Amino acid sequence: MKRLEKRIPLATPTMHGNEIAYVNEAFEKNWIAPLGFNCDNFEIEMSDYLSKGLDTKYHSLALSSGTAALHLATKLAGLKRGDTVFCTDMTFAATVNPVSYEGGKQVFIDTERDTWNMDPNALELAFKKYPDTKLVVMAHLYGTPGKMDELLEICNRHGAIMIEDAAESLSATYKGRQTGTFGKYNAISFNGNKIITSSGGGMLLTDNEEARKKAFFWATQSRENAPWYQHEETGYNYRMSNVVAGIGRGQLVHIDDHRARKEAIYRRYEKELADLPVKMNPYLDYTKPNFWLSCMLIDKGCKVQFMDVLNKLSELNIETRPIWKPMSLQPVFKGHDLIKVENESVGADIFSRGLCLPSDIKMTEEEQMYVIQAIKECF
């Protein structure tokens, strides 16, 4: 195949033009600093979107990143230095790094094969080994909801708080309910390659209004209500810019269209690669992923390795990426426990055979068919 001059990216921002109106308003009002009317309205609009159909109202706090949201979530959960925290193993490091910020100790929970998310059976085993653990941090990988009923039942039975990392899964639903509304404190991300973007930034989500107020206090340097700068607790500079929030507001109105276009990309891969010794990233039939990234898993025993495909596509100017390397395999977490059900680590197995495929919603059908043909030639 001939190498493309134009690179086919994994995922990039998709701007529609209406975002600039919110940004211009921030400039016209000279409100380009953190906080402001765009931040306030972005929070309201996101809360309305996530809370639709729920009896409980979810409160949003616009922050500088999804990682900041996860950090504040661990503080709200009462994490103390030396505490054990059960964490998703196969995820991006941002899911688990905030535990380190607060001096906690990650115990990693292996992946299950049905959704590539935290395995409830492994979580149950973890509570038997570490019965005093009171915090669980789970992520919905690649926009696919985990087994929330099972995971929450286990957490509730053991008196543990769940933090839900929905950074990759905004707009995905589990039995009709939005991800990011299951845990006590949750996080979403608007990084540049997410399903909607504000160029950066994230949000903390909680149904507890007082907790939201406390997180706002910490995020604004823990400044006390005094005529001078009074600080009685450690604070952080975590608030979102009013300009950035304007981009997010303009993006939010397109979220359902973005999700539909992501699914169309997944379905085309699913159909066209059906005859190859590969499978697409799985999901439960009572969930609706947001299909943030379409991924393929090469069958066990196949002579073709994921790096063979990655290198071939790279030569053709097509961007791909390995599956998230499990945290238990990362040098920074050497010596941390991994709780698994199978003899082998499921996360390590998926990592050794998986590949993220171009999932940019601006990719044309012709460009995707070029990617598909390139994959086929590898086999």
Is 5 inside a domain boundary?
Answer: no
Is 6 inside a domain boundary?
Answer: no
Domain boundary among 196, 224, 252: 252
What backbone phi and psi angles, to 5 degrees, belong to 342? -80, 165
**CB-CB neighbours of 154 under 10 Å:** 19
> What gap in Å lies between CA 173 and CA 176, rounded to an integer?
5
Mean pLDDT in residue range 130-156:
98
**CB-CB neighbours of 244 under 10 Å:** 24
Q: Mind listing the pLDDT tens digit for each residue in 222-270?
A: 999 999 999 999 999 999 999 999 999 999 999 999 999 999 999 999 9
Is 373 inside a domain boundary?
Answer: yes
Is 13 inside a domain boundary?
Answer: no
Is 372 inside a domain boundary?
Answer: yes
> What dihedral do alpha carbons 28, 31, 35, 36 form, nearest 10°?
-40
- Are 200 and 262 within one domain? no
Q: Mind listing the pLDDT tens digit for each residue in 84-112?
A: 999 999 999 999 999 999 999 999 999 99
Question: 8 has which bridge partners?
Answer: 318
Query: How high is the pLDDT of residue 18?
Result: 97
**CB-CB neighbours of 311 under 10 Å:** 12
- Are 248 and 312 within one domain? no
Cβ contact 91:324 at 8 Å: yes
Q: Mind listing the pLDDT tens digit for each residue in 292-326?
A: 999 999 999 999 999 999 999 999 999 999 999 99
> What gap in Å lies between CA 291 and CA 214, rounded to an integer?
33
Mean pLDDT in residue range 327-350:
97
- Are 226 and 211 within one domain? yes
List the structure tokens of 92: 């991006």
Residue with tokens 């009013």: 242
Sign, CA torsion 153/158/159/164 = negative
Domain boundary among 232, 252, 272: 252
- Are 173 and 133 within one domain? yes
* Close Cβ partners of 103 (under 8 Å, ≥ 6 residues apart): 79, 80, 81, 82, 83
Q: How far apart are the first and last CA of the chain?
A: 14
- Which residue from 54, 102, 103 is spatially nearest to 205, judged by alpha carbons? 54
The overall average pLDDT reported for the chain is 97
**Structural domains of the chain, count:** 2
Q: Mind listing the pLDDT tens digit for each residue in 176-207?
A: 999 999 999 999 999 999 999 999 999 999 99
| Amino acid at position 53, single letter | G
Residue-number span of the structural domain to which 106 is assigned: 19-252
List the structure tokens of 176: 């009709």
